[in-house]
């Protein structure tokens, strides 16, 4: 599903370069749930940016769904992203649109037939327990509800791979449990999940495989998988 071979990412920053990732290699199999942990600046977000093709690696090989992302042409990028579900720490919801419209966005952008959209949006909202709030705007929702809207949007295209970057960074313990339980639930239904987090309590609670990054290098891979 995901394969990194000696992936490095270097940024040009003033007279000296900044290395965000250095020779990182690992594989995530289909149906796995993996946590990526590490302190701020360890390279977690950079890894997610490479996997979502916001940026490309400076060196190395990066394969997702057997596609070599390093060589993927620009016009194929949107099609690749439709096979991903991405959850962001700051939700990235459109505040001038309703919950329904936010969740429908990936379907509209993917050109899904108009008649199929309402059914799929409501199914995604139902999964995260927000069906009754489809007409509201995100601004009136709580932080946890907003994050669940973001998760519904990530899942509405039924992606085989779900990526999350610090999905509970702004939430309290109880809401964090709810969100991580949702991810666990999706994983049990066959979705491959990769979550970048510094919430070690959740990592321990769910007992999944953990990749630890430090200074851009992969220093530990528990290799635990179900």
Partner 1 sequence: MNYLLRHAQVLLATLGQMARAPLATLLTLTVIGITLALPSGLYVMLDNLERVSAGWDRGAQASLFLKRNVTEAGAHKLAQQIRAMSSVTGVDYISREAAFAEFKKQSGFGAALNALDSNPLPAVLIVRLAVDNPAAAESLMTTLAHLPGVDLAQLDIEWLRRLAALLQLAERGVVMLAALLSLAVLLIIGNTIRLAVVNRRTEIEIIQLVGGTPGFVRRPFLYSGLLQGLLGGLLAWLLVEASLLLLSGPARELAGLYGSSFALTGLGAEQGLSLAMAGGLLGWLGARLAVGWQLRQIALH
The residues that touch partner 1, with contacts defined as CB under 8 A, are 52-54, 56, 74-75, 77-79, 81-82, 86, 92, 94, 105-106, 109-111, 113-114, 153, 157
- Shortest gap between Cβ of 182 and partner 1 (angstroms)? 19
Give the CA count within 13 Å in the CB-facing half-sphere of 155.
24
- Shortest gap between Cβ of 219 and partner 1 (angstroms)? 29
Whether the CB-CB separation of 197 and 203 falls below 8 Å is answered with yes
Which of 8, 154, 11 is closest to 70 using CA atoms? 8
Which of 115, 75, 97 is closest to 153 using CA atoms? 97
> Residue 71 or 188: which CB sits closer to partner 1?
71
C-alpha–C-alpha distance, residues 153 and 172, integer Å: 22
> String of b and e for 149-181 (b: at least 16 CB within 10 Å)?
bbbbbbbbbebebbbbbbbbeebeeebbbebbe
> Residue 75 or 223: which CB sits closer to partner 1?
75
> Residue 176 or 192: which CB sits closer to partner 1?
192
Strand-strand pairing, 33-37 and 84-87: unpaired
- Shortest gap between Cβ of 107 and partner 1 (angstroms)? 9
What is residue 26's DSSP assignment?
Answer: E
- Shortest gap between Cβ of 209 and partner 1 (angstroms)? 26
> Residue 79 or 220: which CB sits closer to partner 1?
79
> Residue 12 or 74: which CB sits closer to partner 1?
74
- Shortest gap between Cβ of 77 and partner 1 (angstroms)? 4
Provide the terminal-to-terminal Cα distance of the chain, rounded to the nearest Å: 15
């Amino acid at each position: 599903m995901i394969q990194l071979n000696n992936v490095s990412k270097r940024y040009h920053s003033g007279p000296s370069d900044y290395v965000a990732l250095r020779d990182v290699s690992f594989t995530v199999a289909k149906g796995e749930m993996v946590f990526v942990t590490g302190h701020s600046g360890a390279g977690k977000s950079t890894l997610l940016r490479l996997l979502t093709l916001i940026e490309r690696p400076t060196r190395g090989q990066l394969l997702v769904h057997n596609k070599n992302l390093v060589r993927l042409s620009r016009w194929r990028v949107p099609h690749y992203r439709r096979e991903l579900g991405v959850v962001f720490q700051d939700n990235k919801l459109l505040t001038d649109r309703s919950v329904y419209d936010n969740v429908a966005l990936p379907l509209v952008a993917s050109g899904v037939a108009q008649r199929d959209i309402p059914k799929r949006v409501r199914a995604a909202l139902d999964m995260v327990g927000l069906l009754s709030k489809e007409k509201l705007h995100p601004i009136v929702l709580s932080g946890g509800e907003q994050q669940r809207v973001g998760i519904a949007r990530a899942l509405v295209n039924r992606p085989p791979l779900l990526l999350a970057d610090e999905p509970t960074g702004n939430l309290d313990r109880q809401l964090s449990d709810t969100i991580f339980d949702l991810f666990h639930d999706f994983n049990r239904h066959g979705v491959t999940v990769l979550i970048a987090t510094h919430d070690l309590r959740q990592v321990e609670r769910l007992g999944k495989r953990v990749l630890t990054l430090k200074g851009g290098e992969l220093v530990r891979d528990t290799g635990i998988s179900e």
